[in-house]
Structure formats: C-alpha cells, structure tokens
Amino acid sequence: MITTSGLTKVYRSRGREVTALDGVDLHVREGEVYGVIGQSGAGKSSLIRCVNLLERPTSGTVTVAGQDLTALAGRGPRAGRELRQARSRIGMVFQHFNLLSSRTVQDNVELPLEILGKSGKERSRKALELLDLVGLADKAGVYPAQLSGGQKQRVGIARALAGDPKVLLSDEATSALDPETTRSILQLLRDLNRQLGLTVLLITHEMDVVKTICDSAALMDRGRIVESGTVSELLATPGSELAAALFPVGGDASGDDRTVVDVTFHGDAATQPVVSQLARTYNIDISILGAAMDTVGGKQVGRMRIELPGRYEENVVPIGFLREQGLQIDVLDRAEPQAVPAKDGAK
Amino acid sequence: MTWSEMQPLLSEASGDTLYMVGWSTVIAVVGGLPLGVLLVLTDRGGLLQNLAANKVIGQVVNIARSMPFIILMVALMSFTRTITGTTIGREAAIVPLAIGAIPFFARLVETAVREVDGGLVEAVQAMGGNTWTVVRKVLVPEALPSLISSATTTVVALIGYSAMAGTVGAGGLGDIAIRYGYQRFETQLMWITVAILAVVISLIQFAGDYAARALHRRGGDSSVAPRLRLLKNRTPATEAIASDVNRAA
C-alpha cells in the first residue's frame, strides 16, 4: 500500500548538510498497522512527511496505493493539483492535533470536505457521521479549546477520515496524551483499521504503541531502517533489538557455575509448558530470572530468561531439548562474546 | 468663546476626523492585510518563498514607516492630486493617511500571522489545500483576534496622524486644538478637543479589545493574551513604541 525505495532527505542550511533519511526502503502492506519507532532525531518525522510529500525527498520514490507520488510532485516547491488530490486521499493525524481554534469541532471536520469542494449539506452529514464514529457526536458545536487532549485527537482522527482515505498517517498521535487516553486512542485506531480496512503508518517513540496495535514494525536509527518485519518475524530474528525492546527481560546469573538462557516464544510453541517439561525430563532446577509475555496480533508471544545450574558444557542436552521444541534459544555467556546480551537492545 | 460658538466647530471637526480616519482605516486594512500576509509567505521557509520579493516589500514598508507623517503628506502631494484632483481638504488628507497606515498595519499583520502555528498550515496542506486555502482558512481566521487588535492600534495611530492633516486644510479635532487652542489662546476649547479625543480613543480601544477578546475566548491559543494586556491604557505617543516592541518580540 505504501512503498518507499531509496528514500533520501538531505537538509541544507548555511552550507551545512544534515542527512535525515539515508536510503529508506519501507513496505507497508494493505490493511496492516505499521509502526516506525526510533529516538528523536532518527528521521521518523521526515519519513512520514515524505510519504505525503509535505517534505520533498532529495532522491528516491514514494508509492501510495499504486500511485507514484514523487512523479506527481513536479519541480517547483509548490504542490500541483495532482499531488494535492493524492494528498486528500491520505489522512494524517498529528501529535499536537493541529485543529483550528477559530472553528467548531464540526467545522474542523468539514474543512477537508470544503477543500474537496463538497456541498454544505453533504459536508455536515459526513462530519456528523464521522464524529459519531469517533464517539464525539455530542461535541459537534463546541470549540477545540473546550476539549480534553484525547477528545481533540478524536476530532483529528475524524478530520483525517473525511476524505475517505485508504491510508492514515499518524505522526506521534499519542505522544501528548496520558497513558489511559493513549490506550483509548490506540484502540480507536485499531478499530478503524479493522472496520474500514484502513492501512495505518504510524511513527512513535513509545514501544508500548508498537506493542499494542502494530502488525509490523521498523526500527529507525540515524536515518536508516535498522530492522523491520512483522512482530513475529522480528521475534524470530536472533539478536533483534526491536524484539528485545518489545519483550525486555533482565536478570543476571546468580553465580559463576550457572547458564543463562533467553527463550523466545512465537507461534505454536508458546502454548506448550516447556519449562516444566524441561525440569521433569532432565530433573534440573530452573530459575526464571525474567519474563515478558504478551498477545501480539492475536498470538501469544514473548521471551523468558531462565537460569540452569552448571556451566554451558553441562547444559548442552537440555538446551538442545528446548531447541527441538521449536523455541528460539540465545545463550548468554560472559565468556563467549558471540552470544547476544539482550539488555543492550532494550532502549 | 461661548459654548454656542464652540459647538458647531467641534461637531464639524469631529465629523472630519471620523471621516478621514474611517476611510483611511478601510484602505489601510484592505491594502495592509495582503501586504502583511505576503511578507510572511515570501519569507524564508514560507509557502511562496521568494527572498528577493520579500526584501523589496520589506524595504518599501520600512521606508514608508520611517518617514515622518508631515513629510509624507508633502511628498505625496502630486500623487494626491492625481487621485483626488486636489491637495487640500478632507479627501486630500485621506490619501497620505492611508498610505502612511498601510505599511504600519502590514507590519502588525505580519506579526499576527507569524504567530499562527505552522502545524495548522501543515495540516491543511496534508488535506490537499493550496496556498490560497491556507491563507483563507487558516492564516487569516486563526490570526483574527490579533488582527483586530492590530486594526485598533492602527485606528488610534491614525487619529494621532490626522491632527497634522489640518496643514492641508482638512480640518479635524487636532486642527481645532492647534489653530484655536494654541494659536488663538482658546485654552478652554483646546482642553475640550483633547477630552473628546481621549473619549474617542478610549471607546475605540475598548471596542477593539472587546471584539478581540470575544473571538479569542473560544480559541485556546494563549499567544494573544499578553498583547492585549500591553494594549490597555495606551496613548498615541506610546503606540509607536509598543508596536516596535511587539515587532521585536
């Protein structure tokens, strides 16, 4: 639904060059919620603004719903008619809502319809329908200043949906909200994704957002996509930073003659009681140092850090047993540097 | 002078002042609003970025702003004659008043429009709006409380300038105060005109503040509130300083 290839954005100011995007290839499938996560300055904002060409990419292409937007952009700095039409079919919600304080809630939702040249009757019908969809039917006549942050974002979402978009871009939509409101807004986005088949590309710096609603995720760092994939693909990737951050497990070995193992559950193995099976089969005492389990995309996934008595050499057989169960096993050993310490990934 | 002698003088002068100030305000708003918006749009990072045009407009505005009004009035005499067919009287005074007020108001518009959150512009662009849509639906309506304060400031400044219009025989309250009060030692008449001017300015300021605040109350943006506070209890003499402070801020 959204594809970027070789997307590069370089800002030039007073002779200095800053590379915000450095060859970003992104592929968002139709109907999925795709999260791009990264620290501030990683290039997330530039990326999402390049998708609807609010920012002109220095090079590379952006395709949304089969339409090459970069080809529509033209040479000048101003957006031509075709690009503006394409933009009206892409909804966007913002961190600071960006509602017009001079207009009522209903008039704010009607604004994109005014731009599309719809008649007054059609505008108010559509606006009221959308306000009902986001649960604010009773607030049509009030001004944004009278609303709470969560309500403002609901208006922002209703406004973004006015042009019947297939794609919704969310620029840190929940970053200005408290945790509880964040959950309700994410739930709304999830519902809209399912009910309307809306493809959602969101950027965030909160791992919780990715964990709550994303089907796929990408990690950005210094203008590049470091990792990407569906959540279970990421979990299956040994040493994935995103997986480690989504399912952080901590805890150190309690002594020198112990083996610490990270067990990653994804797919069917997650339903098996493997730890107790392991203890029974080999008659060993297992300590659980840390665990993070969750339901992601309707599947039970997670990671667990366990400690086995004895050094690694003594535990080759039990570890082999775990691998046979279809689990992904990472052995943490201070003596062996090739093992991946999961903690470093937990940003 | 008795009241029966003063009364017709004063009512005619008040009428002249309101006539001159009224028309020149209308022209200043019509001319200054697009000019101020253009100053923002053509600036670096603006929607119509054009640094050469921005510099030219900015320079013209600065030169017009820095010229003392009485000089401007004399300098524009031939221009005034082409427009109104005369260089004396109320109509002739409107031309330099309006031309002096256009750049004054344009600078205030520029400040007001700059305060509009760039995120709103971005939102409208993301909906597929063009530059004209941004100006019409975002910049002007969102800056409206500030623009009304700016118009009030301009009216008050114009009342001050209009005192000098007497030099081209345009009449007005300021002219009465100078000709009768100062040159003929009619101190009483002078103080009455000063009182009338004070009342008129207070009323205009009150109405402007009220309108701006009423519009502002529905919006949550706090950027206008401190400016309104600054605007209170102003006299024409402090206007110029206050507007410079606003511009520098």
ipTM of the complex, rounded to two decimals: 0.81
How far apart are the C-alpha atoms of A291 and A303, rounded to whole Å?
Answer: 6
B127, B130, B216, B217: best to mutate for the A interface, most A CBs within 10 A: B127
Structure tokens at A161: 């949906």
Position A128 pLDDT exceeds 90? yes
* Tens digit of each residue's pLDDT (9 = 90 or more) over A167-221: 999 999 999 999 999 999 999 999 999 999 999 999 999 988 998 899 999 999 9
Residue B152: CATH number of its domain: 1.10.3720.10
Identify whether the C-beta of residue A187 lies closer than 8 Å to the C-beta of residue A203: no
Q: How far is CA A237 from CA A225, A240, A241, A249, in A?
A: 15, 5, 9, 16
pLDDT band at residue B150 under the 50/70/90 scheme: very high
Nearest neighbour of B127 by CB, restricted to A88, A101, A144: A88
Element (H or E) spanning A301, and its range?
A: strand A299-309
Running DSSP on this structure, what letter comes out for residue B224?
S
Alpha-carbon A333 to chain mean position: 32
pLDDT band at residue A333 under the 50/70/90 scheme: low
Q: Within an 8 Å CB–CB cutoff, is residue B60 touching chain A?
A: no
B131, closest residue in chain A (CA to CA): A78
Identify whether the C-beta of residue A212 lies closer than 8 Å to the C-beta of residue A192: no
* Tens digit of each residue's pLDDT (9 = 90 or more) over A217-249: 999 999 999 999 988 788 777 778 888 887 878
Q: What pLDDT score was predicted for residue A340?
A: 46
| Domain limits for position B225 | 3-248
Q: What pLDDT score was predicted for residue B230?
A: 43
Mean pLDDT of A144-159: 95
Put simply, the answer to whether A112 touches B138 (Cβ < 8 Å) is no
| Contacts B128 to A, Cβ<8 Å | 84-88, 112, 115-116, 163
* Tens digit of each residue's pLDDT (9 = 90 or more) over B13-69: 999 999 999 999 999 999 999 999 999 999 988 899 999 999 999 999 999 888 888
Helix, strand or coil for residue B172?
Answer: coil
| Contacts A78 to B, Cβ<8 Å | 47-48, 130-131
Structure tokens at B75: 């300098």
Which residues on adjacent β-strands are paired with residue A27?
A: A3
Position B10 pLDDT exceeds 60? yes
- A258-265/A299-309 β-pairing: antiparallel
Running DSSP on this structure, what letter comes out for residue A20?
E
Q: Any idea how long chain A is?
A: 347
Residue at token pair 């029966």: B4
Q: How far is B33 from chain A (nearest CA, A)?
A: 18
Put simply, the answer to whether A101 touches B142 (Cβ < 8 Å) is yes
Q: CA-based diameter of chain A, in Å?
A: 77
Q: Within an 8 Å CB–CB cutoff, is residue B137 touching chain A?
A: yes
How far apart are the C-alpha atoms of B222 and A295, rounded to whole Å?
Answer: 43
A102, A148, A155: best to mutate for the B interface, most B CBs within 10 A: A102
User: Percent helix, strand, coil in chain B (nearest 5)?
Assistant: 80, 0, 20
Position A299 pLDDT exceeds 70? no
Put simply, the answer to whether A145 touches B218 (Cβ < 8 Å) is yes
- A199-204/A33-37 β-pairing: parallel
Q: Within an 8 Å CB–CB cutoff, is residue B129 touching chain A?
A: yes
Mean pLDDT of B176-205: 90
Of B142, B117, B110, B211, the residue nearest A111 (C-alpha)? B142
A82, closest residue in chain B (CA to CA): B128
Number of domains in chain B: 1
Structure tokens at A217: 């995720």
Identify whether the C-beta of residue B92 lies closer than 8 Å to the C-beta of residue B165: no
A93, closest residue in chain B (CA to CA): B123
pLDDT band at residue A267 under the 50/70/90 scheme: low
Q: What pLDDT score was predicted for residue A131?
A: 97
pLDDT band at residue A270 under the 50/70/90 scheme: low
The percent of residues above 70 in pLDDT, for chain A, comes to 91
* Tens digit of each residue's pLDDT (9 = 90 or more) over A22-62: 999 999 999 999 999 998 888 999 999 999 999 999 999 99
Lowest mean pLDDT among A51-60, A125-134, A275-284, A336-345: A336-345
Average pLDDT value over all residues in chain A: 87
Domains (range + CATH), chain A: 2-236 (3.40.50.300), 241-345 (3.30.70.260)
Q: What pLDDT score was predicted for residue B232?
A: 42
Q: How far is B130 from chain A (nearest CA, A)?
A: 7
B128, closest residue in chain A (CA to CA): A84
| Contacts A114 to B, Cβ<8 Å | 137
Mean pLDDT of A88-103: 95
Q: What pLDDT score was predicted for residue B202?
A: 95
Residue at token pair 């970027």: A4
Position B214 pLDDT exceeds 80? yes
Lowest mean pLDDT among A69-73, A132-136, A300-304, B215-219: B215-219
Nearest neighbour of B129 by CB, restricted to A115, A144, A162: A115
Which tops the pLDDT comparison, A295 or A307?
A307
